[in-house]
């Protein structure tokens, strides 16, 4: 069954390749537009630090954003095709099929980050990929897991009640505003509280990997990230089970995102 | 069906859209401020006003600079998406055959039905940005800045309508059901110097940017960010360039969209 789900998403990815290519180039260009604006404020001497910090924060956010739109946002399409009932009748959880979007979201995120980095690096001649790969990979794994579970939670809610896509986009945008703040500007007593905001700890780990943050709180951030991921998992599982049981009793209401 | 009827249908379409999509209205009003806050917040976190002025090479107010840039960026995006992407929306809704078979040319329908929306929304955004403009430059400065920004919004729209209709003609002949040209929107904004002035780009990028109508609209709107009063000659020169581009791009789009329409009807690709 897992093989069939992965095959479905790979096949769809290939069928809509131009659309995904468009999404990758488009994401990279929006990021470049944003970075260019921010860099206008930065003195030349601070450029390498500011660029690295801004780039890796945005890379982390682009994973969160891609997962929530590619996984969570796909629910609407899945519901409107009538696929929820079809899968449940055959004993397959619709959320398992939706989780298969992990393949597409990961592919889009990886290619976007590489393309975006290569573009920014060539424009400013500042090495962006000079990072600690094992820490970066660990951070990206944590962010991906948290984002996938958050997307499943949103999917589960959207099976029972309407969810405004615009508000989710605004929420996504607010996340980047929180992630971009360097930990050094947060008062010392509030740093752990700051790291406890969802996604902040993995983003901090990524910034440590890139050398744009000091690694003083690395162990605490790792612990917070893992606890957060487990909490996300439990909440998502509960929401998915509740949604499935609701659909079995009441049927899919085809609400989703609007 | 007269042109006034087309215009009126555009007005009603928008009023009812707002009435039935409150979330869309709220998000529309919030987006420009979110963009502005993110850009300025990150900018001040990593740098300063002094560095900004030194990098830009002009005595400008960074907040007014980004307010005018954000205003024009959202207005330009709206034109590019709503005129350029209208073909796709009609295709998704199943109304494209009616648009193509209507007595008016597709380009006329796309443009006439869109103008009310553009005027309504761009001026709502201008009103939305008045508080930061007043806070930074005072009420007196609005006597000069408000006309500059209003003229930028209106005159800047004219060439962009034709420019976007050219993209609509490409989408009309391609058989993709998603907007495979949306990657051009941020590239056009980057090359137009939306948040990073085009005169700081390398020569090849400056050459392309001069051909884009949005570059001149940004230049015109940003005159409001100058600490001193902008020169009348400069304002008139930019308006002249934009009017010249309007004639060029609208003539080009009229021809291209006509050809695309014929091809779509001939091949049954609607």
CA distances from A46 to A64, B38, B187 (A): 27, 19, 26
CA angle at B136 for the pair B133 and B138, rounded to the nearest 5°:
80
Residue A190, pLDDT score: 92
Find where tokens 């992407």 sit.
B85
pLDDT at A12 over 80: yes
Residue A47: count of CB within 10 angstroms of its CB = 16
B46 to A53: CB separation less than 8 angstroms, yes or no: yes
pTM of the entire predicted model: 0.81
Tens of pLDDT, residue by residue over A87-116, are: 888 888 888 998 888 899 999 999 999 998
> Are A32 and A116 contacting, i.e. CB atoms less than 8 angstroms apart?
yes
Interchain contact A50–B (C-beta under 8 A): yes
Write out the DSSP string of A91-114.
T--HHHHHHTHHHHHHHHHHHHHH
Among the partner-chain residues A22, A46, A166, the one whose CB lies closest to the CB of B180 is A22
CA distance to partner chain A, nearest, from residue B37 (Å): 9
Residues 19-48 of A with CB under 8 A from B: 19, 21-22, 25-26, 29-30, 32-34, 36-43, 46
Q: Mean pLDDT throughout B164-188? A: 77
Q: Sorting pLDDT into bands at 50, 70 and 90, what band is B215?
A: very high
CA distance to partner chain A, nearest, from residue B167 (Å): 15
Instruction: Collect all residues of chain A within an 8 Å Cβ-Cβ radius of residue B42.
Output: 38, 54, 180
Pick left, alpha or beta for residue A125 (phi over 0 → left; psi -120 to 50 → alpha; otherwise beta): left
Find where tokens 């917040």 sit.
B41
Tens of pLDDT, residue by residue over B223-242, are: 877 766 677 888 889 999 99
Hey, what are A71's tokens?
């996984």
> Are B173 and B264 contacting, i.e. CB atoms less than 8 angstroms apart?
yes
Tens of pLDDT, residue by residue over B201-213, are: 888 888 999 999 9
State which residue of chain B sits closest to A40, comparing Cα positions. B52
Residues 162-181 of A with CB under 8 A from B: 164, 166-167, 169-170, 173-174, 176-177, 180-181
Q: Sorting pLDDT into bands at 50, 70 and 90, what band is A226?
A: very high
CA distance to partner chain A, nearest, from residue B170 (Å): 15
Residues 6+ apart with CB under 8 A from B42: A38, A54, A180
pLDDT at B8 over 70: yes
Proportion of chain A above pLDDT 70, given as a percent: 96
Write out the DSSP string of A145-205.
HHHHHHHHHHHHHHTTS-B-HHHHHHHHHHHHHHHTS-GGGS-GGGHHHHHTSTTHHHHHH
Among the partner-chain residues B37, B45, B189, the one whose CB lies closest to the CB of A181 is B45
What's the 3-state SS for chain B?
CCHHHHHHHHHHHHHHHHHHCHHHHHHHHHHHHHHHHHHHHHHHHHCCHHHHHHHHCCCECHHHHHHHHHHHHHHHHHHHHHHHCHHHHHHHHCCHHHHHHCCCCHHHHHHHHHHHHHHHHHHHHHHHCHHHHHHHHHHHHHHHHHHHHHHHHHHHHHHHHHHHHHHHHHHHHCCCCCCCCCCHHHHHHHHCCCCCCHHHCCHHHHHHHHHCHHHHHHHHHHHHHECCCCCHHHHHHHHHHHHHHHHHHHHHHHHHHHHHHHHHHHHCCC
> Are A112 and A24 contacting, i.e. CB atoms less than 8 angstroms apart?
yes
Output the average pLDDT for chain A.
87
B203 or B24: whose pLDDT is higher? B203
Q: Sorting pLDDT into bands at 50, 70 and 90, what band is A258?
A: very low
A33 to B176: CB separation less than 8 angstroms, yes or no: no
Residues 6+ apart with CB under 8 A from B45: A180, A181, A182, A185
A166 to B24: CB separation less than 8 angstroms, yes or no: yes
Among the partner-chain residues B24, B41, B46, the one whose CB lies closest to the CB of A50 is B46
Q: Mean pLDDT throughout A160-166? A: 70
Q: Sorting pLDDT into bands at 50, 70 and 90, what band is B134?
A: confident
């Amino acid at each position: 069954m897992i093989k069939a789900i992965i095959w479905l998403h790979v096949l769809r990815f290939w069928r809509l390749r131009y659309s995904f290519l468009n999404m990758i180039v488009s994401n990279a260009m929006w990021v470049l537009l944003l970075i260019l604006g921010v860099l206008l404020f930065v003195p030349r001497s601070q450029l390498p630090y500011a660029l690295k910090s801004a780039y890796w924060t945005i890379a982390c956010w682009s994973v969160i954003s891609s997962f929530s739109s590619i996984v969570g946002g796909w629910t609407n399409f899945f519901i409107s095709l009538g696929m929820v009932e079809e899968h449940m009748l055959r004993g397959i959880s619709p959320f398992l099929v939706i989780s298969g979007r992990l393949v597409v979201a990961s592919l889009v995120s990886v290619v976007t980050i590489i393309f975006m980095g290569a573009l920014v690096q060539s424009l400013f001649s500042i090495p962006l990929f000079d990072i600690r790969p094992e820490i970066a990979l660990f951070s990206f794994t944590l962010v991906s897991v948290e984002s996938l579970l958050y997307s499943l939670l949103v999917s589960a809610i959207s099976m029972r009640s309407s969810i405004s896509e615009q508000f989710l986009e605004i929420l996504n945008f607010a996340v980047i505003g929180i992630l971009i703040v360097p930990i050094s500007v947060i008062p010392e007593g509030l740093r752990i509280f700051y790291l406890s905001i969802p996604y902040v700890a993995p983003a901090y780990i990524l910034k440590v990997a890139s050398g744009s943050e000091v690694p003083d709180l690395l162990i605490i951030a790792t612990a917070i990230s893992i606890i957060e991921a487990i909490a996300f998992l439990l909440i998502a599982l509960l929401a998915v089970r509740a949604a499935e049981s609701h659909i079995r009793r009441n049927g899919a209401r085809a609400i989703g995102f609007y | 069906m007269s042109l006034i009827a087309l215009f009126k249908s555009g007005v009603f379409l928008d009023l009812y859209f707002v009435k039935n999509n409150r979330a869309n209205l709220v998000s529309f009003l919030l987006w420009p401020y979110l963009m502005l806050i993110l850009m300025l917040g990150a900018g001040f976190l990593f740098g300063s006003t002094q560095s900004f002025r030194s990098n830009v090479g002009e005595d400008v107010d960074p907040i007014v600079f980004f307010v005018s840039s954000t205003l024009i960026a959202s207005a330009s995006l709206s034109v590019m998406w709503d005129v350029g992407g209208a073909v796709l929306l009609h295709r998704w809704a199943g109304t494209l055959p009616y648009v193509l078979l209507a007595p008016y040319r597709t380009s006329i329908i796309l443009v006439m039905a869109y103008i009310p929306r553009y005027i309504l929304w761009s001026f709502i955004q201008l009103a939305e940005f008045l508080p930061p403009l007043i806070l930074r430059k005072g009420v007196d400065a609005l006597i000069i800045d408000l006309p500059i920004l209003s003229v930028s919004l209106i005159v800047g729209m004219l060439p962009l309508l034709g420019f976007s209709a050219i993209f609509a003609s490409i989408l009309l002949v391609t058989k993709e059901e998603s907007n495979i040209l949306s990657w051009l929107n941020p590239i056009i904004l980057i090359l137009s110097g939306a948040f990073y002035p085009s005169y700081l780009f390398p020569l090849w990028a400056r050459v392309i940017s001069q051909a884009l109508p949005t570059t001149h609209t940004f230049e015109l709107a940003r005159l409001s960010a100058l600490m001193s009063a902008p020169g009348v000659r400069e304002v008139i020169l930019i308006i002249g360039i934009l009017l010249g581009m309007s004639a060029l791009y609208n003539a080009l789009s009229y021809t291209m969209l006509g050809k695309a329409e014929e091809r779509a009807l001939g091949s049954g690709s609607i």
